[in-house]
Amino acid sequence: MTDVTRTIGVVGTGVIGAGWAVRLLARGHDVVAWDPAQGAEERLRAAVEWAWPSATRLGLFPGADRSRLEFAATAEELAAGVDFVQESAPEREEVKRPLIQALAANSGPEVVIASSSSGLLPTRLQEGCEHPGRILIGHPFNPVYLLPLVEIVAGEQTSPEAVEAARCHYDDLVMYPLLVRTEIEGYLADRLQEALWREVLHLVNDGVASTAELDDAITYGPGLRWAGMGTNLTFHLAGGEQGMRHMLRQFGPTLKLPWTKLVAPDLTDELVGAMADGCLAQADGRSIDDLDRLRDDYVINVMRSLRPLDLGAGRIVAEREARIHAASLTDPWAEGDDVAAPLDLYRGEVEPDWVDYNGHMSEWAFLTAFGWASDKLFRYIGIDEDYRASGNTFFTAETHINFVAEAALGDPLRITTQVLGVDAKRLHIFHSMEHAETGELLATTEQMLLHVDTGAGRTALILDRPAAALAALAATHGDLPVPPQVGRVMSFG
């Protein structure tokens, strides 16, 4: 990851190119786009506006701004002024090859040109290009601004330096760069998807099942498992204590049974009609925009549900959150710094999975938001991943929360923090949550935290840097009035 702002070129601004633009802008980079189609700029800006709420819910880096999108007059102009090029032209070699040649002829030899192709061979795309060693595949998955996977495929002339530069680029975007070690048509994920897709076509063509029944067969079963574990690890678990070896011994003979048909059937008018009619019935009157929004909501929620388990995309979400926190905190405490009273470290909004059936923020979600505010405090005083890895952290011993007003989906939040007291092992803090636009007080919480040695499993002295920071905070915040909610207990009186 780098904190240096870069200028990235997005060539081709359809669904995939627009998704790249959103992801790049959300990361805080400058984007220069180009597409020869009439009205492309207007459509791109509209697509960015439409997807921005989803990108916001996933998390924006400092500097993220939709206004940092420019549109170039030509591909050549774009290539001359960017640090990295992501090409997302139509999936036809006769279109991509001359376009990539033009990009290569007008960009510096150090500029990596990555194609979003979903199956073409990079060796073919390199032909006739200047400095072909910097040309490779960077295959994303829709929606690009949410899904972390990107397959990197090198061609025969691609240099190791270009592959590493691409890996660092996609890591900077908080994606999961998967290096496809063998140049092969369709790469990895699409070949797996294609096998399932062909079987779907056969089952519909043979009248075995409808599109809805086949989607149910995935979404209520394997799909939930695949979100955190792939096919192989899932089947490994099916073998019990002996894992995959026993699974193959037990179920391997079924591979000789006629369970699947990997050769695709002819796409007759009848089959196309059955597939199209089935999907329209599943849509049940909902527009593509409606379904896109629904997809974005559940993808975010699924990924976040996996976060506490450190599985699959949940691990990437956790990494994104950690990096956003690190990037947002531009001025951690240093000796001699003036200290804000109270601290103003957390801004956010009410997330879709935070609201209950009444459309209001749930009780647990208030604690979640206050937890993020505490994390901001910890990072401010020097308690980060490295500090926790050393075996030191704070545990909450007691929390008192007071609910004052309701918060609804999308409401902007601001949480301020006051240090009430600190000693060698304890920290007493108070958070106030306000509506960030109206200033209305929504909730408060008072917390007592204990500093612990996680290896020893007992309380321990706060280490020097955070101890000094907390002492400075306590000294400054000691001049603030004690909030009336501090020490409050429930009673009928």
Is 401's pLDDT higher than 80? yes
Is 349's pLDDT higher than 80? yes
Least confident of 156-170, 211-225, 326-340, 368-382: 326-340
307 domain residue, yes or no:
no
The CATH number assigned to the domain holding 78 equals 3.40.50.720
Query: Taking Cα atoms as reference points, which of 11, 31, 190, 192 lies closest to residue 90?
Result: 11
Same domain, 252 and 153: no
The reported pLDDT for the residue numbered 202 is 94
Could you please report the per-residue DSSP string of 184-204? Answer: -TTTTHHHHHHHHHHHHHHHH
If one counts the domains in the chain, the total is 3
Query: Domain ends where: 285, 306, 321?
Result: 285
> Rounded to whole angstroms, how far apart are CA atoms 348 and 353?
14
The reported pLDDT for the residue numbered 84 is 98
> Rounded to whole angstroms, how far apart are CA atoms 459 and 398?
15
> Rounded to whole angstroms, how far apart are CA atoms 109 and 95?
22
The reported pLDDT for the residue numbered 240 is 79
Is 3's pLDDT higher than 70? no
Query: Taking Cα atoms as reference points, which of 184, 185, 179, 125 lies closest to residue 157?
Result: 125
Task: State mean pLDDT over 420-429.
Answer: 97
Q: Which residue type, as a one-letter code, is found at position 424?
A: A
The reported pLDDT for the residue numbered 300 is 85
Band (160; pLDDT cuts 50, 70, 90): very high
Same domain, 141 and 237: no
Is 1's pLDDT higher than 70? no
Are residues 113 and 85 in contact, defined by beta-carbon separation less than 8 angstroms? yes
415 domain residue, yes or no:
yes
Task: State mean pLDDT over 62-84.
Answer: 96
Same domain, 172 and 227: no
Q: With left for phi above 0 and alpha for psi between -120 and 50, is residue 184 left, alpha or beta?
A: beta
Same domain, 195 and 183: no
| SS3 assignment, position 463 | coil
**CB-neighbour burial class of residue 425 (10 A; exposed 0-12, middle 13-18, buried 19+):** middle
Sign of CA dihedral 327, 330, 334, 338: negative
Are residues 220 and 211 in contact, defined by beta-carbon separation less than 8 angstroms? no
Angle at alpha carbon of residue 230, lines to 228 and 232, rounded to 5°: 140
The reported pLDDT for the residue numbered 123 is 98
Band (261; pLDDT cuts 50, 70, 90): confident
Same domain, 268 and 357: no
75 domain residue, yes or no:
yes
> Rounded to whole angstroms, how far apart are CA atoms 37 and 30?
22
Is 177's pLDDT higher than 90? yes
Crossing angle of helices 464-477 and 363-381, in 10° steps, is 110
Query: Domain ends where: 285, 316, 343?
Result: 285
pTM over 0.75: yes
302 domain residue, yes or no:
no
What DSSP character marks residue 264?
Answer: P
> Rounded to whole angstroms, how far apart are CA atoms 373 and 433?
10
Query: By residue range, what is the domain housing residue 451?
Result: 330-477
Same domain, 361 and 445: yes
Query: Domain ends where: 187, 212, 238?
Result: 187
Same domain, 23 and 131: yes
319 domain residue, yes or no:
no
The CATH number assigned to the domain holding 349 equals 3.10.129.10
The reported pLDDT for the residue numbered 493 is 63
465 domain residue, yes or no:
yes
Is 337's pLDDT higher than 90? no
**DSSP H helical ranges for 329-362:** none
Band (2; pLDDT cuts 50, 70, 90): low
The tens digit of pLDDT for each residue in 91-102 reads 999 999 999 999
Same domain, 466 and 342: yes
**Strand bridging mode 30-34 / 69-71:** parallel
**CB-neighbour burial class of residue 470 (10 A; exposed 0-12, middle 13-18, buried 19+):** buried
Question: What's the first-to-final CA gap in the chain, in angstroms?
Answer: 56
271 domain residue, yes or no:
yes
Same domain, 127 and 270: no
Same domain, 155 and 205: no
The CATH number assigned to the domain holding 217 equals 1.10.1040.10
Same domain, 210 and 350: no
Same domain, 155 and 234: no
The tens digit of pLDDT for each residue in 267-299 reads 788 988 887 888 788 888 988 888 888 888 888
Q: Answer whether the bond into residue 342 is a cis peptide, omega within 30°.
A: yes
What DSSP character marks residue 262?
Answer: -
Q: What is the largest CA-CA distance in the chain?
A: 84
> Rounded to whole angstroms, how far apart are CA atoms 304 and 313?
8
Least confident of 54-63, 65-74, 324-333, 450-459: 324-333
321 domain residue, yes or no:
no
Least confident of 62-76, 120-134, 170-184, 310-324: 310-324
Is 19's pLDDT higher than 70? yes
